[in-house]
Amino acid sequence: MQNNSQSRATLGGKLSAVLVAAGSSVGLGNIWRFPYVAGDNGGGAFLIIYILCVILLGLPLMLSEFSIGRATRLNAVGAFRSLNRRWSFLGYNGILAAFLILGFYFVVAGWTAEYLVHSITGDLAQLSSPEEYKSVFDNFITNPWRPILYTALFVLATHIIIALGVQKGIERSAKLLMPLLFLILIILSIHSLLMSGGTEGLKFFFTPDFSKVTPSTVLVALGQAFFSLSIGLGTMVTYASYFKPDTNLYNTALNVTILDTSVAILAGVMIFPAVFSVGIEPSSGPSLVFITLPSIFNGLPLSMVWSTIFFLLLVIAALTSTISLHEVITAYLHEEWHVSRKTAAWLTTLSTMVLASFASLSLGVWNEMKICGLSLFDALDYLTANIMLPVGGMFTCFFAGWKLDQQVLKAQITNNGAIKFRIYKLFRVLLRYFCPIVLLLVFLDNLGLF
């Protein structure tokens, strides 16, 4: 097995592995995507299916990705290739998925940056009705150049951090910002709960109505779980390649999963009561957060301050995620194409910027152009979250359960026998049988084969 540990950076403190991995996981997927996807798929029943996906599929998969990354200390393609040549396609699937995700993620990240700027200038606080917020949002995203400008700013910020090297900046900011993000979310959730009409929103979010569940609900929940946890595309393989030998991989995966899921649930608690009390459709799609949140802030004293803090945190949550996606591609280009890290970073930055500009334009001036009935923006989202990540996840489970030398897996999870992993048997059954079979059934079902 190839090992390039000398040249490779490792993360510093004890908390770093959790924080950096949580930085990747917690992002727009939790606060922007989760509420609208849950709203679109019936609420309560979706939440239950989502949580089951996280525990039964997400956690074992994250642990497998961590093990593969730390065992090989390589980028996603190199890692799979060095373990088994035939499986390097999984790495390529991941690199491509990271590129396509960045294509729409950078666009939404740009929106959050624009909202931050308008919160600081006070423009956002001047509007009052949800209709006004909606029309401001629609005008903004369909504008040909403004969103691209903010996207470019975001891409540049990501580039600078990647170029500086990942460790100190991200580690330190994550330590400060993740707790702050939690605090703000809790305060806003409480406020949202106290709004008149709020209980209806909570009912929608917490009362399962299984009559609304279709095969596609399960696929969407699965895709959302993988997207939110950043798994199925080698991000966690890449990050774990920087972990220290004594990092406890299971505890790290467990903590990241818990943090990520609590942020998603808190986002739901914050948004659904507001959705119902200001009278917006829970199924109104990607604009949901950008309309409901400013409406909540509006009812608060010092609304400018709240909205500034919130969008700042959202920008940061998005940034720690774009960095991880960028890193997947940069590490691959650097190590496999043998170009300098700087060149690798520039190649990634420029190519994703072009894709993101197209995705942004596909919501406005190019909205006539459709791919299978979807705009480029929606197609990128759908293809990655609902197809590439679940497929990547299915093969990763299969690989870790059947093809990977079990001694390698065990050595990683127990740190060469230094720590106990009591549920290894259960973990193995999940990896070998449960996860691949469930994933396969969900796919076949969605293709209409039953």
Q: Which is nearer to ligand PHE, 98 or 278 (CB)?
A: 98
Beta strands in 150-284 (DSSP E): none
Shortest reach from residue 277's CB to ligand PHE, in Å: 26
Q: Which is nearer to ligand PHE, 277 or 384 (CB)?
A: 384
Shortest reach from residue 227's CB to ligand PHE, in Å: 5
Site for ligand PHE in 17-36 (CB under 6 A): 24-25, 27-30
CA dist list (Å): 293 to 27, 118, 156, 165, 268 = 16, 13, 26, 34, 12
Q: Which is nearer to ligand PHE, 236 or 280 (CB)?
A: 236
Shortest reach from residue 450's CB to ligand PHE, in Å: 29
Strand partners, 316: none
Q: Which of 162, 188, 325, 361 binds ligand PHE (CB under 6 A)?
A: 325
Work out whether 223 is an interface residue with ligand PHE (CB under 6 A). Answer: no
Q: Which residues neighbour 107 within 8 Å (Cβ) at sequence distance 6 or greater?
A: 147, 151, 356, 359, 360, 363, 377
Q: Which of 64, 241, 248, 324 binds ligand PHE (CB under 6 A)?
A: 324
CB 317 within 8 Å of CB 26: yes
Helix (H) or strand (E) holding 196: none
Shortest reach from residue 422's CB to ligand PHE, in Å: 28
Cα distance between residue 336 and residue 328, in whole Å: 12
Instruction: Report residue 140 CA to chain centroid gap.
Output: 24
Site for ligand PHE in 76-115 (CB under 6 A): 101
Shortest reach from residue 380's CB to ligand PHE, in Å: 12
In 3D space, the residue among 435, 434, 409, 439 whose CA is nearest the CA of residue 424 turns out to be 409
Instruction: Report residue 427 CA to chain centroid gap.
Output: 24
Quick check: helix, strand or coil at residue 205?
A: helix
Q: Where are the alpha helices (DSSP H) in 198-248?
A: 198-206, 215-229, 235-240
Shortest reach from residue 24's CB to ligand PHE, in Å: 5
Q: Which is nearer to ligand PHE, 27 or 390 (CB)?
A: 27
Q: What is the DSSP letter of 371?
A: B
Site for ligand PHE in 172-201 (CB under 6 A): none
Site for ligand PHE in 224-263 (CB under 6 A): 227-228, 230, 233, 235
Shortest reach from residue 230's CB to ligand PHE, in Å: 4
Looking from the CA of 29 toward its CB, the CA atoms found within 13 Å total: 31
Residues in the interface with ligand PHE (CB under 6 A) total 15
- Whose CB is nearest to ligand PHE? 29
Shortest reach from residue 236's CB to ligand PHE, in Å: 8
Cα distance between residue 92 and residue 329, in whole Å: 10
Q: Which is nearer to ligand PHE, 29 or 35 (CB)?
A: 29
Q: Which of 261, 321, 360, 412 binds ligand PHE (CB under 6 A)?
A: 321
Which residues of this chain interact with ligand PHE, rule CB under 6 A?
24-25, 27-30, 101, 227-228, 230, 233, 235, 321, 324-325
